[in-house]
Structure 1
């Protein structure tokens, strides 16, 4: 069984896939910034509630989450307990796009994406 790629390796793969544009790699990813952004709340598009990444994924990434709208179970985000996390660049790109739009109401910046990946990787 191979080890999952490092944050730098994931960032390079995401740049290669066109998901991130980061001239002058290596991009500095900040897990602390990712952790802070994870719990930062944003107004829902309908204005009825606040959302954060933790709304669905929780604050303990070693535990399963639950989608706030659908109730669907979400496997733990932490690669330490879910080795499938952060191994497929296409899935990473897909879910970052979808979840950033749903939670933040916009696409994440390259820096935000890198910070989220770095944070998740530390769990």
Structure 2
């Protein structure tokens, strides 16, 4: 009986652990805006996404404008799936991956990590694309 209870507890814990990482693009936008203590703006997000910020690339350099179709990495030519969530249901469903890619891509575009409001604005822009 104890073995069964332990097995059930492990399975239940595993389910909650997996679900804790599941997220969606609207929740991420709200989370980043809350962290920034201000509202996200799709207009600022589009400007941020399409502009260069002192480095060689913008977000649009690889993801395209608008990012609703496949893009191509600027230096490797690797195909990138559409970024906008309405055009790729797999985007922004794993918070750890989202944070990893924001960190990596912001460094490529800005030379630093994105601020919470920059992330919120980009998410607002991507969420506005239908």
| TM-score (norm: length of structure 2) | 0.72
Runs of 4+ in structure 1 deviating by more than 4 angstroms, as ranges, are none
Q: Which runs of 5+ in 1 are unaligned?
A: 45-49
Instruction: Give the match's secondary structure for 1:112.
Output: helix
Residue among 86, 109, 112 paired with 2:115: 109
Task: Report whether the alignment pairs 1:85 with 2:104.
Answer: no
Bigger fraction of residues in helix: 2
Q: 1:34 aligns with which of 45, 52, 55?
A: 45
Number of residue pairs the alignment of both structures matches: 107
Q: CA separation in 2, counterparts of 1:28 and 1:72?
A: 34
Give secondary structure in 2 for the equivalent of 1:22.
Answer: helix
Larger radius of gyration: 2
Alpha-carbon spacing, 1:53–1:72, altered in 2? closer, same or farther (3 Å): same
Q: Which one of the candidate residues 22, 30, 40 is aligned to 2:35?
A: 22
What value does the CA root-mean-square deviation take over the aligned residues? 2.2
